[in-house]
Amino acid sequence: MTAVAGVDGLRRCGWSYGAPEYIAYHDDEWGRAVRGDDAVFERMVLEAFQSGLSWLTILRKRAAFRAAFANFSIDAVAQFDQADAERLMSDAAIVRNRAKIEACIANAHAARELPEGLSALVWSFAPTGRRKAPQLMGDVPAVTPDSAAMARELKRRGFRFIGPTTAYAHMQATGMVNDHLASCHARKLCP
């Protein structure tokens, strides 16, 4: 799949079509640098909830996730207890998956214990230098040695529901890598 021109004349990565939410996410967020512990935590939680589902499902429920998870404040989510987990399980506005909900709460506990902070830890796995821009979506990897190393370290530090593929998706979402296609207009907007 190559970059495709939209009705506005801009060429975008082909995956971004099909819904307005995809286009907005592609143009305004995907591949842009995200820093700050709570902001990085939000992307990590959303990537975990997306596992096995359409990203569009998560985008459409994002506001509800923010409300349900205290705007992804690590300190607030780390205070959640069993009653909060049950509340989340009954919240039809989010994805109700007990393992993912419990992982989110456990990950807030783990993030709070990081002396360097979550943002600094995950960004320490960002590849150095720029790799060649992908020409086709088939050129974009699903896993890299950096994402595998990041997943291992996060698991070692008590994080759950993050493997090498989810870690790489997180790297893409937070701008640690720029996987916009060479012909995509958004490529030049990302570092």
Kindly list the catalytic residues.
25, 47, 55
Q: What would the two tokens of residue 2 be? A: 């190559």
As a whole number of angstroms, the distance between CA 32 and CA 153 comes to: 23
Q: State how far the Cα of 25 lies from the Cα of 18, in Å rounded to an integer.
A: 12
Which two tokens mark 62? 């994002």
- Per DSSP, the three-state class of 188 is helix
Please report how many Cα atoms fall inside a 13 Å half-sphere around the Cα of residue 147, on the Cβ side.
20
CA angle 175, 68, 163 (to 5 degrees): 45
